[in-house]
Amino acid sequence: MTRHSAIALFLILVSLASLPGCKKKDSGTLFNESGRKGTVEAPVKDVPKDMLATQQGFVNLVKEVTPSVVNISTVSKKKPTRPMLEFSPFFDEFFGNNIPRGPRFKRDKSLGSGFIINKDGYIVTNDHVVRDAESIQVKLSNDKVYNARIVGSDQKTDLAVIKIDSKEPLQTTAVLGDSDKLQVGQWAIAIGNPFGLDRTVTVGVISATGRSGMGIETYEDFIQTDASINPGNSGGPLLNIHGEVIGINTAIVAAGQGIGFAIPVNMAKNVVSQLMQKGKVSRGWLGVSIQPVTTALAESFGLQKATGALISDVMAGSPAAKGGMKQGDVITRFDGKEIKDSKQLQLVVAGIAAGKSVSVELIRNGKPLTIVLTIGNADNATAAANRPESVPVDNWLGLTVEELPQNQRGKGGGVLVTDVEQGSSAGEGGIKPGDIVQAINQRRVMNLAEYNAAMQQAQQRGAVAFLVRRGNMSLYFAFDMR
């Protein structure tokens, strides 16, 4: 080999050695992998044990409870909105009778959730999930699909029970907890099928309890939670950290995030039991008109604080009348439960079976009193259900009253309100011309003389409470006269 040939060979070898492909591959440089798999340490080496325990607790809970949660899909028949022209008397004249009309009904599909409550295939969900459904299909966690039928439903609480028929007993059922023991701030776990995404798990806390006045249902005592609830979650369980069902997810506030509502499981237990046994719900009935106790009313009735439910009227022949309840009574405790307001009394009475004898603690003429009465059946008092349960009250000023006409004096006496000054406290408080003032500060007034005497005493006292007859209703109004 000549000297030039040797130099050329050396340069070729150097060039080849400098190429990237000729270097030894350095494995593991494309990404970092956790040290728990043997390459590098995890970014956080010392995770607090309580965080690990909490995480594992959620994992264990989901494994245990998820098999009891089901996906519900329904098909319902609804009447569609028809084109406006179809209703025109000129439609046939211009287009004839051969124009195909739109369908009289349309098929509507929807999704929801539910949970199995016993091995025979009974499932709890929301009434609005299965209402008007022509067909119901239930998919279990093992992906088996069953046809279901409605056992019973209750629109007033938005609860329903459906049933599937399985050849073998279902192995996993939900365990019901105690919603009366809930505290704000506790963990809350929601499982359901939002937007059709099977068995989605979300975690939050109990944001509030006893939410009512939402206009969602007739009987409202909602649990509020920030565990994400979305369309399709309806009917699914809200759980505590023990995996017990504490509520049935029902509604959301569309304008806000993190505001969802669930029906307390203790309210659902009574409803579900009745639906399973007889397919419908019967509620207790008292036979009274009730209104909230405001601060002004509390002062007028000699109460230490504005709490309880004020009885503004007692229906003749009702359980309340037979038990000795009277107008002006303030119920503070019913069947062992403290009554904070009129809405709570409504819920408590509705949850008691007809025929049960209960003890009622009340305030009458400023003194405590206990009576015993027997609860009636609301099925026999449908007319009473439409009567108003509360009225607004405000300060008093601007009433004009006259003697009752001769033909009205035999109906309990009183004085007739003939005029209410525009913008006055009486007007703003709800008193109207035509109302009959029958009592002042729980003292009956039969005529103008008694009315004037009672009003002078009320002026000295600094507050007045009117018992007003309006049509077939009796209402209380309280005003500050200082």
By residue count, the chain amounts to 482
Element (H, E) at 200: strand 200-211
More confident residue, 215 or 60: 60
CATH tag, 52-81+105-281: 2.40.10.120
Q: Quote the longest CA-to-CA distance of the chain.
A: 146
Q: Is the pLDDT confidence value at 82 over 50? A: no
Q: How far apart are CA 476 and CA 183, in angstroms?
A: 35
Q: How far apart are CA 102 and CA 223, in angstroms?
A: 43
Q: Is the pLDDT confidence value at 53 over 80? A: yes
pLDDT at 393: 28
Torsion on CA atoms 97, 102, 104, 107, rounded to nearest 10: 160
pLDDT digits (tens, 9 = 90+) for 142-169: 889 999 999 999 988 899 999 999 888 8
Helices (H), 108-204: 127-130
pLDDT digits (tens, 9 = 90+) for 419-469: 888 767 677 778 888 888 888 888 888 877 778 778 777 777 778 888 888
User: Rounded to a whole number, what is the distance in angstroms from the first to the last CA of the chain?
Assistant: 126
Q: Is the pLDDT confidence value at 277 over 80? A: yes
pLDDT digits (tens, 9 = 90+) for 292-320: 888 888 887 778 888 888 888 888 788 99
pLDDT at 231: 81
Cβ-contact 422, 435 below 8 angstroms:
no
Q: Assign a CATH topology to domain 284-385.
A: Pdz3 Domain (2.30.42)
Element (H, E) at 347: helix 342-350
Q: Across all residues in the chain, what is the average pLDDT?
A: 79
Residue 383: band (very low, low, confident or very high) from pLDDT cuts 50, 70, 90: very low
Cβ-contact 239, 61 below 8 angstroms:
yes
More confident residue, 268 or 300: 268
pLDDT at 394: 30
Positive or negative, the Cα torsion across 10, 13, 14, 15?
Answer: positive
Could you give the percent of the chain with pLDDT greater than 70?
78
pLDDT at 398: 75
Domain parsing of the chain, residue ranges: 52-81+105-281, 284-385, 399-480
- pTM (predicted TM-score): 0.64
Q: Is the pLDDT confidence value at 369 over 50? A: yes
Residue with tokens 């304008």: 255
Neighbours of 361 (CB within 10 A): 18
More confident residue, 78 or 475: 475
What does the pLDDT average to over 202-217?
A: 82
Residue 172: band (very low, low, confident or very high) from pLDDT cuts 50, 70, 90: confident
Strands 222-225 and 200-211 turn out to be antiparallel
Strands 237-239 and 309-314 turn out to be unpaired
Cβ-contact 249, 260 below 8 angstroms:
yes
Q: Which residues contact 427 (CB under 8 A, 6 or more apart)?
A: 398, 420, 421
pLDDT digits (tens, 9 = 90+) for 323-365: 899 888 999 999 998 888 888 888 888 888 888 899 999 989 8
Residue 64: band (very low, low, confident or very high) from pLDDT cuts 50, 70, 90: very high
Query: Do 52-81+105-281 and 399-480 agree at the fold level?
Result: no
Can you identify the CATH homologous superfamily of domain 399-480?
Answer: PDZ domain (2.30.42.10)
Tokens of 53: 């325990």
Q: Is the pLDDT confidence value at 367 over 80? A: yes
Helices (H), 215-355: 265-278, 295-300, 319-322, 342-350
230: helix, strand or coil = coil
More confident residue, 201 or 398: 201
pLDDT digits (tens, 9 = 90+) for 227-260: 888 888 888 999 999 999 999 998 877 666 778 8
More confident residue, 83 or 235: 235
Q: How far apart are CA 411 and CA 4, in angstroms?
A: 136
More confident residue, 83 or 48: 48
* Residues with active-site annotation: 128, 158, 234
Residue with tokens 């492909």: 21
pLDDT at 126: 92
